[in-house]
Structure 1
Amino acid sequence: MNKPQDRPPYGAALAQSGVLERLAAFDPHIAGTPPLGLDLPSSDIDILCHAPNPSQFDDGVWRALADCPGFAIWQWRDEDRPVVARFHCAGWVFELFGQALPVIEQAGWRHFQIERRLLALGGAAFRDAVLALRRAGAKTEPAVAELFGLAGEPYATLLTLEPLDDAALGQRIRHAIR
């Protein structure tokens, strides 16, 4: 596998993998740090899928991707038992997450949408603040929670920002990056 700094942009790796076409039946959506411009050399490409039938998703992923380097697949034991798979392509790690919920209702997609809004509203200063925390070892959601002073579990508390309008988010961003 290529060293992370030698890998192509995530869009090129995505195209090379063909994963969106291979898994089209599961409504795949790209999420995570690369499309947000917050990726680090250790970042992966996250793909969220609608998998109302975990066994069917598992079978579809096996048929489509089992020949890829680093392929692994497993199923969570808790909640609605989502299926997770991982493989390598073009110097990137891809991680698939298949859950019974439609993608737009999944927590990972909701986090991604909130983060996209925050970055659009906060501009370069907010992006730089999040990246500084990420470079220091934080994941994206904990970094945002830290900047906003959100108490509690960061993945859950990030969702408390979801209903806020742009004016309220902008005010919180300005306070966070002072």
Structure 2
Amino acid sequence: MIKNFKKINYLKNGNQRQKLAFYEINKHQVLETLKQYSPILVGTIPIDIDIPNSDLDIICECKNHSQFTKYIRNEFGNKKDFKIYTTKKNGVDCTIAEFKTDNFIFEIFGQNIPTDKQNAYRHMIVEDLLLSKKGNDFKNKIKELKTSGIKTEPAFAKLLGLTGNPYVELLKFEHKLSK
């Protein structure tokens, strides 16, 4: 069953790091500030496969990158080590902002794609379903691979024996797992 990751209340009952993420996101009013951009926390912390240097990834839907950049700079530009830039990923414009708080690095990622259709969200849903099906041994092996420096999607691909682009191959599980 697919969990509701669109609200972060689930973090309150999670592990220590998830509880700290919940506190930090609320303390800095990150989701509240980004509300007009339909933000969703994605990545490894929500699905409990993070490692100590994992950041808080928040995806947003932004239709106008220059307005989004201006808004993000205005709202978060005073945060430690703030930076923002626009680039292309898979041929799609994206604006990425980073900053630090006491306990985390935040990465805000904006694309002109609804947040629940963005690959980061879709990957997290597939990964969460795989973790629930495969159990704790699988989860621990993912964390070990991540600790050794392998990124999340390639770690899943390695354990699942997938060949080709791990980001593409993982998405092929979407329809199989959501049934």
TM-score bucket (shorter structure): 0.7 to 0.9
1:161: Cα distance to partner?
Answer: 1.3
The structure in which a higher percent of residues are helix is 1
Q: Does the 8 A contact of 1:141 with 1:154 survive in 2?
A: yes
Deviation per CA, 1:128-174, whole angstroms, max 9, x where unpaired?
A: 1211211221111110000111111211111111121368xxxxxxx
Q: Does the 8 A contact of 2:61 with 2:112 survive in 1?
A: yes
Q: Does the 8 A contact of 2:40 with 2:59 survive in 1?
A: yes
Q: Does the 8 A contact of 1:16 with 1:90 survive in 2?
A: no
Amino acid aligned to 1:83: T
For residue 82 of structure 2, the aligned residue among 71, 81, 103 is 71
The equivalent residue for 1:147 is 159
User: Within the alignment, does 1:23 sit opposite 2:34 as a pair?
Assistant: yes
5 Å-filtered alignment, 1:115-130, equals: 115-130=127-142
- In angstroms, what is the RMSD of aligned CA positions? 1.7
Task: Return the alpha-carbon distance in structure 2 between the equivalents of residues 108 and 160 of structure 1.
Answer: 14
Residue segments in structure 2 that go unaligned for 5+ positions in a row: 1-16
The equivalent residue for 1:3 is none
Residue segments in structure 1 that go unaligned for 5+ positions in a row: 1-5, 168-178
Task: Return the alpha-carbon distance in structure 1 between the equivalents of residues 37 and 178 of structure 2.
Answer: 32
- Matched residue of 2:110: which SS? strand
TM-score (norm 2): 0.84
Q: Does the 8 A contact of 1:23 with 1:64 survive in 2?
A: no
Task: Return the alpha-carbon distance in structure 2 between the equivalents of residues 122 and 95 of structure 1.
Answer: 29
The equivalent residue for 1:176 is none
Q: For structure 1, which segment, 151-160 or 137-146, has the greater mean C-alpha deviation from structure 2 after superposition? A: 151-160
For residue 102 of structure 1, the aligned residue among 110, 114, 129 is 114
Deviation per CA, 1:10-49, whole angstroms, max 9, x where unpaired?
A: 2222122211011111011000111111111110000000
TM-score (norm 1): 0.85
Amino acid aligned to 1:95: E
- Matched residue of 1:164: which SS? helix
For residue 62 of structure 1, the aligned residue among 69, 73, 79 is 73
Q: For structure 1, which segment, 95-104 or 120-129, has the greater mean C-alpha deviation from structure 2 after superposition? A: 120-129
The runs of at least 4 consecutive aligned structure 1 residues that moved more than 4 Å come to none
Task: Return the alpha-carbon distance in structure 1 between the equivalents of residues 103 and 47 of structure 2.
Answer: 19
The equivalent residue for 1:32 is 43
What is the identity percentage for the equivalent residue pairs of Structure 1 and Structure 2?
34
